Structure 1
């Protein structure tokens, strides 16, 4: 029997535990709504031509005024930007996704592996559809430092890197118990996402608003799939977190 004097305390602890459990899904829902609104606003401004001054100012700020074919900074910075931008290519993202799926299969997280496949594959399809819908021309204000073949809005590299790295990070932390490892996974995903998107503007192949839109959609997609993973995990359809490891 629990003494009466302890019952209010226990109810308070249960309430706090429930609040902590539900606050992250609530924040995720708000992030999804905010991401959709931000993308919608950006798309409207781009279609109306209201972002032209901002886009041109940023692109020109990243170029040598005496030679617009020369990005600012030493030559090794431009070469490094080319290397970084490849982290958002279809080939690299596909290899990374397959590697993660292989790892999840080896550790018997088959449902999580299927979730990764569905989320990344669906995101790549979404990127292709959005580019076809908007058909924005690539910037011709400065010479392109790397070849491009598709439409400009939203940035495929920015969107795909965001949805892939953030989705992988968000899904992997659902099967990871260590808080330190969880923080590390998300931090790496965010840093790589920003570096890839920034490299596209630096190399002159995207307007800044293309990259912002790509980040919005990619981050929203990743958050949405984190919610799906959480829901399935609570239902028992996706493997729960592993045994707690010491931090």
Structure 2
């Protein structure tokens, strides 16, 4: 009798688990590919840098290969272009987008954008202080940097901006051009940091990984993509989803 009831309990649980996985398989897949795997890569990079400040053997090899292309005119291009990936350049862009969200009462999108941008900056500064990896000193850079290197702030800033914009425009016609131009922008900023000799490639890769994980992780909590399921012409429903908490969020707030 006990065995029969116990087996029924197991079957009931397995049936529930199956339904749960079917209902949430997309979120679980995003969590695995978009958060867990990037954090795993970042963790491996951070561990190697922690144990050996010189990092990986391919760090210096890639830098030297890029340095063979150095030219005075390219120096000017790199020094100018790299400024586009700085916080001081991205901040006005984020502020402009945030202002648009504020005017049109897109609270959820605004909360996601600000949380992602501010959190990325805090993560970068914190990890740099913890890891205290010195900058490459292979050649004299035309635009030297003097703070810590790991992870790259420019790589994180550019990737966070593009990743956030992709998530915010997911399901709309804007996502394709943002993916294309955003990818070019991210790679271009990374090239400038390597060309100028102010970052190791592992700094860049680490910055990309933690930025992707952070942007996607925050999106799973704030869910700015809730509005993508709403019809374009259903403005009232769109506003309600942007300006109101979901039932789950309201329930969690009441419990606290």
Which of the five TM-score ranges fits, normalised by the shorter chain?
A: 0.7 to 0.9
Paired residues for 1:129-168 under 5 Å? 129-168=126-165
Shift of 1:41: 0.6
Cα distance in structure 2, aligned partners of 1:132 and 1:182: 35
The answer as to 2:118 corresponding to 1:114 is no
5 Å-filtered alignment, 1:1-247, equals 24-30=26-32, 31-49=34-52, 51-64=55-68, 72-170=69-167, 172-173=168-169, 178=172, 180-230=173-223, 234=226, 241=230, 243=232
Give the SS at the match of 1:120. helix
The runs of at least 4 consecutive aligned structure 1 residues that moved more than 6 Å come to: none
Q: List alignment gaps of at least 5 residues for structure 2.
A: 1-20, 234-256
Cα offset, 1:119, TM superposition? 1.5
Distance across 1 between alignment mates of 2:231 and 2:70: 46
Structure 1 residues 151 and 108, CA gap change in structure 2 (3 angstroms)? same
Runs of at least 5 residues in structure 1 that lack an aligned partner in the other structure: 1-17, 65-71
Change (3 A) 1:79 1:27: farther
The CA deviation string for residues 48-71 of structure 1, in whole angstroms up to 9 with x for no partner, is 32734211111111224xxxxxxx
Q: CA RMSD in A?
A: 2.5
Deviation at 1:242, TM superposition (A): 5.8
For residues 107-132 of structure 1, give each alpha carbon's deviation from its aligned partner in whole angstroms, at most 9, with x where no partner exists: 22133112211221111111100000
State the number of aligned residues: 211
In structure 2, distance between residues paired with 1:25 and 1:190: 24
Shift in Å at residue 215 of structure 1? 0.9
- Larger helix percent: 2
Q: Distance in 2 between matches of 1:229 and 1:104?
A: 15
Which digits, 9 at most, give the CA deviation of each residue in 1:82-140, with x for residues without a partner? 22211221101111110110111222213311221122111111110000000001111
Normalization by structure 1: what TM-score? Answer: 0.76
The residue matched to 2:232 in structure 1 has which SS? coil
Task: Give the Cα–Cα distance (whole angstroms) in 2 for the partners of residues 41 and 220 of structure 1.
Answer: 14
Contact 2:70 2:195 in 1 (8 A): no
Q: Could you tell me how far apart the structure 2 residues matched to 1:226 and 1:76 are?
A: 41
In structure 2, distance between residues paired with 1:89 and 1:148: 12
Which whole-Å CA distance do the structure 1 matches of 2:189 and 2:75 have between them? Answer: 13
Report if the CA contact (8 A) 1:159-1:215 is conserved: yes
Q: How far, CA to CA, are the matches of 2:101 and 2:179 in structure 1?
A: 18
Give distance in 2, aligned partners of 1:127 and 1:182: 26
